[in-house]
Amino acid sequence: MNEIDLLQELRAGLPGPRAESRASARGALIARIEESLRPPAPAAVPIWRRPRLRLGAALAALAALLVAVPTLILGGGGEVQPALGQVLRTAAAVAATQPAEPPPGPGQYFYTRSREAYLTTSFGPRCATHPCDREHATRAWSVLVPRIRQTWIAANGTGRARAVSTKPEFLTAGQRKAWKAAGSPHLGSGGVEDFALSGQPFLDTSNLPTEPRALRKLIEARKIPRVGGPPGEAETFTLIGDMLRDTYLPPAFRAALYRVVAELPKVKLLGEVKDPIDRKGIGVAFTKGSVTHELIFDPKTSALLGEREVAARRIPDLQVPAGTETGSVTYLESKVVNSLGKGAPPGAGHLRQSIGCYEKPSLHASAAVLHGPDPIATCTKLWREGVMGTTLKRLEREGKLPKRPDKIPNLVACEGDYPAVTYVFPGDGPSVCRRLGMRPTAGGEG
Amino acid sequence: MDQTTLDSDAVSASLHTPAGFATIFDRHFDAVHAYLQRRVGPDLADELSAQTFLVAFDKRGGYDPSQPDARPWLFGIATNLVRRHHRDEVRQFRAYARSAEDPVLDAFDGVEARLDASEMRRELVDALAQVPVEELDALLLYAWAELSYPEIAGALDIPTGTVRSRLSRARGRIRAALDAGQSPALGQPIPEEGGSR
């Protein structure tokens, strides 16, 4: 017997990992994976413009899982409050008198700085390894991770986005304990994200009406390029917030947006409120389900100061009491600058073609986003490798990767609202693009 | 589990579809845990093996796609993590050598805490406590993780020649310690290579 044999006998035959240890480790990995998936696919509105409604999404997902759709609590019937109309018409009048800002010229960027904090809810390891039903969802924790976000955007939509996250804030000490008990999985804090933006230009308002009724019709029909989303009045309110958030807007268009808000049913006037950094402003709100979305604007300039999401009632599944601030954005600064700032990532300021390979002919399907010269060939490779056709949920339910698809579907490449993105869907012809409100690319069928 | 894909393909695919990385976990978690558990006991192994896969996921962009098997890469990450606990590891070896009770085995409920009266084994763990950490890593990757020389080289990011010399030195030290204890069973020469398995 030599020393290696002796060594191999030492501590040999120990039991394998405990099931709960394995589950906890897997849960931590899945949480990290989910976190990495958070930046939206290219079909979604760019993240620098629309860091919104994560709680709403989490709730929708939960509702689907629990098959217990939350009752919609919509306040106020269909009437517009007279005071609201007056306040917003005043805001519109102020907006119309604001000087038009010149667009960034060649080599210039529109710079913005904002602070955002969104509540992220995670579930303990049991939910990572079992279906997230009522029993398994109980050990959850919610944490606010504040981030300072800066963006530099050129007229052609190229630029840079940088976000620095700071110390996470747990809602309660108990939730902090649940997180610790789950092995302190990564919370997405303390990191710096710095990436190049490509092909995400400002809202082009040159062809849009400034007459409120016509504008409202376009918004409600989701006909404004890159300002799209699911149907519903709450989403309309959110989309207007998205547009107002864009500080680079002609004054007449800003004024029209305020007039549209004034006419929307179910919008509530909050009166004078403070934004998340204690600046005074006028608040308006829209409540859908468990979440109230507030917009706070400066009555003197009509500029949007901040936004806030508040739990309208207790949300037991997320362990969030009524009145909890579940998200906020504060707009701190905006100006035209002549450079991308220090330490810009490589490629920032240059157009780069992205390809979105979608699993299904829908912009809401899961997608892999990558770069490459030939969209169809790139996505075909993913399908051949068995990368497409997998979803996190299925993987989780079965505890394995699904088998490779027997057959690679026909693929169609489409052009949409973002010039730097080619969308590739499974489907049999250019009609797929048209059905999704897009155009087939030249030679885009595979 | 879909074993038809190579680990390298699964890691590459996970760059586009991160969820696919779960398959790497499913394939290798138990092996990584077993190795760590043997080094530092079950409790710390739980923590370090979970960390191993988080680090691996974050660093998957740097995976060498020419390596079909992810084990050396994962064991390398695990070894780096366990190195921070080298002092605990040494303390456990010493306690074992002194008391003939292995703290790692003691940590298991239901595993009989055997008193190991074998003098030779106590000398072995005493010797292990004195092996420098770089040599110990190479030695235990060879003996416990069952990696080949080239795989250890990949795991520790060192040339194969260095693996050879570290292993040779570590084995020499252990042999010398055991010889000093005059255990008659040990008289075989150190194999020259032992290279790939």
**In sequence order, what DSSP letters do the residues of A260-310 get, joined into one string?**
HHHH-TT-EEEEEEE-TTS-EEEEEEEEETTEEEEEEE-TTT--EEEEEEE
Please tell me the predicted confidence (pLDDT) of residue B84. Answer: 82
pLDDT band at A387 (very low <50, low <70, confident <90, very high): low
Res B38 pLDDT > 90: yes
Nearest residue on chain B to A378, alpha-carbon basis: B16
Average pLDDT over residues A212-223: 89
Please tell me the predicted confidence (pLDDT) of residue A401. Answer: 46
| Cα separation, A26 vs A276, whole angstroms | 37
Res B117 pLDDT > 60: no
Please tell me the predicted confidence (pLDDT) of residue A382. Answer: 77
- Best to test chain A binding among B17, B54, B137 (most A CBs inside 10 Å): B17
Nearest residue on chain A to B32, alpha-carbon basis: A17
Q: Are A34 and A132 in contact, with CB atoms under 8 Å apart?
A: no
* Set of chain A residues whose Cβ sits within 8 Å of the Cβ of B70: none
pLDDT band at A366 (very low <50, low <70, confident <90, very high): low
Between A383 and A403, the more confident residue is A383
Res A32 pLDDT > 70: yes
Res A62 pLDDT > 70: no
* Token pair belonging to A97: 């008198």
pLDDT band at A70 (very low <50, low <70, confident <90, very high): very low
* Token pair belonging to B123: 């000398």
* Set of chain A residues whose Cβ sits within 8 Å of the Cβ of B16: 357, 368, 370, 382, 387
Average pLDDT over residues A31-49: 49
Q: How many interchain CB pairs under 8 A, A with B?
A: 143
> Environment class of residue A387 by beta-carbon count within 10 Å: exposed (0-12), middle (13-18) or buried (19+)?
buried
Please tell me the predicted confidence (pLDDT) of residue B60. Answer: 87
φ, ψ for residue A267 (rounded to 5)? Answer: -85, 135
The answer to whether residue A4 neighbours chain B at the CB level (below 8 Å) is yes
| Cα separation, B36 vs B40, whole angstroms | 6
Please tell me the predicted confidence (pLDDT) of residue B74. Answer: 96
pLDDT band at A200 (very low <50, low <70, confident <90, very high): low
Please tell me the predicted confidence (pLDDT) of residue B77. Answer: 94
The answer to whether residue A19 neighbours chain B at the CB level (below 8 Å) is no
Please tell me the predicted confidence (pLDDT) of residue B190. Answer: 37
Average pLDDT over residues A51-65: 33
Q: Lowest-pLDDT range, A58-67, A230-239, A275-284, A314-323? A: A58-67
Considering only the beta carbons, identify the residue of B20, B120, B128 that sits closest to A387.
B20
pLDDT band at A388 (very low <50, low <70, confident <90, very high): low
Between A110 and A142, the more confident residue is A110
Please tell me the predicted confidence (pLDDT) of residue A411. Answer: 92
- The owner of tokens 């990564």 is A186
How far B188 CA lies from chain A's nearest CA (Å)? 6
pLDDT band at A190 (very low <50, low <70, confident <90, very high): low
Please tell me the predicted confidence (pLDDT) of residue B196. Answer: 40
Between A196 and B133, the more confident residue is B133
The answer to whether residue A13 neighbours chain B at the CB level (below 8 Å) is no
The answer to whether A8 contacts B144, with C-beta atoms less than 8 Å apart, is yes
> Environment class of residue A220 by beta-carbon count within 10 Å: exposed (0-12), middle (13-18) or buried (19+)?
middle
pLDDT in tens, A131-163: 444 444 445 677 888 888 888 888 877 888 888
| Cα separation, B58 vs B56, whole angstroms | 5
- The owner of tokens 């490589």 is A346
How far B162 CA lies from chain A's nearest CA (Å)? 19
Please tell me the predicted confidence (pLDDT) of residue B115. Answer: 47
The answer to whether A401 contacts B5, with C-beta atoms less than 8 Å apart, is yes
* Set of chain A residues whose Cβ sits within 8 Å of the Cβ of B45: 17
CA B133, chain centre distance (Å) = 12
Q: Indicate if the alpha-carbon torsion angle B115, B120, B123, B125 is positive or negative.
A: negative
The answer to whether residue A26 neighbours chain B at the CB level (below 8 Å) is yes
* Set of chain A residues whose Cβ sits within 8 Å of the Cβ of B179: none
| Cα separation, A427 vs A411, whole angstroms | 6
* Set of chain B residues whose Cβ sits within 8 Å of the Cβ of A368: 16-17
The answer to whether residue A18 neighbours chain B at the CB level (below 8 Å) is yes
The answer to whether residue A2 neighbours chain B at the CB level (below 8 Å) is yes
pLDDT band at B167 (very low <50, low <70, confident <90, very high): very high
pLDDT in tens, A91-108: 888 888 887 777 788 889
The answer to whether residue A28 neighbours chain B at the CB level (below 8 Å) is yes
The answer to whether A22 contacts B47, with C-beta atoms less than 8 Å apart, is no
- The owner of tokens 């991160």 is B18
Please tell me the predicted confidence (pLDDT) of residue A61. Answer: 32
Please tell me the predicted confidence (pLDDT) of residue B70. Answer: 94
ipTM of the complex: 0.87
Nearest residue on chain A to B178, alpha-carbon basis: A3
Please tell me the predicted confidence (pLDDT) of residue A27. Answer: 83
> What is the percent of chain A where pLDDT is above 90?
7
| Cα separation, A364 vs A366, whole angstroms | 7
How far B40 CA lies from chain A's nearest CA (Å)? 11
Please tell me the predicted confidence (pLDDT) of residue A186. Answer: 72
Please tell me the predicted confidence (pLDDT) of residue A319. Answer: 63
* Set of chain B residues whose Cβ sits within 8 Å of the Cβ of A6: 120-121, 124, 178
* Token pair belonging to A427: 């489907």
pLDDT band at B78 (very low <50, low <70, confident <90, very high): very high
pLDDT band at A173 (very low <50, low <70, confident <90, very high): confident
The answer to whether A29 contacts B120, with C-beta atoms less than 8 Å apart, is no
> How high is the mean pLDDT of chain A?
74
How far A102 CA lies from chain B's nearest CA (Å)? 40
- The interface residues of chain A toward chain B in range 253-312, judged by CB-CB distance below 8 A, are none
* Set of chain B residues whose Cβ sits within 8 Å of the Cβ of A391: 19
* Set of chain A residues whose Cβ sits within 8 Å of the Cβ of B102: 11
Please tell me the predicted confidence (pLDDT) of residue B179. Answer: 79
Using DSSP bridges, classify how beta strands A280-288 and A192-197 pair: parallel, antiparallel or unpaired: unpaired
Please tell me the predicted confidence (pLDDT) of residue A446. Answer: 43
Q: Are A38 and A52 in contact, with CB atoms under 8 Å apart?
A: no
pLDDT in tens, A284-323: 999 877 778 899 988 888 888 988 888 888 766 556 778 8
Please tell me the predicted confidence (pLDDT) of residue A318. Answer: 58
pLDDT band at B181 (very low <50, low <70, confident <90, very high): low
Between A160 and A400, the more confident residue is A160
> What is the percent of chain B where pLDDT is above 90?
33
Please tell me the predicted confidence (pLDDT) of residue A413. Answer: 92
Please tell me the predicted confidence (pLDDT) of residue A399. Answer: 54
Q: Lowest-pLDDT range, A190-194, B91-95, B150-154? A: A190-194
Between A428 and A119, the more confident residue is A428
The answer to whether residue A181 neighbours chain B at the CB level (below 8 Å) is no
Please tell me the predicted confidence (pLDDT) of residue A423. Answer: 87
Q: Are A189 and A166 in contact, with CB atoms under 8 Å apart?
A: yes
Res A397 pLDDT > 60: no
pLDDT band at B152 (very low <50, low <70, confident <90, very high): very high
Considering only the beta carbons, identify the residue of B13, B50, B128 that sits closest to A387.
B13
Average pLDDT over residues B137-152: 93
Please tell me the predicted confidence (pLDDT) of residue B144. Answer: 94
Q: Are A8 and B34 in contact, with CB atoms under 8 Å apart?
A: no
Between A264 and A38, the more confident residue is A264
Considering only the beta carbons, identify the residue of A1, A8, A25 that sits closest to B50.
A25
- The interface residues of chain A toward chain B in range 349-388, judged by CB-CB distance below 8 A, are 357, 368, 370, 382, 385-388
The answer to whether A6 contacts B23, with C-beta atoms less than 8 Å apart, is no
Between B17 and A427, the more confident residue is A427
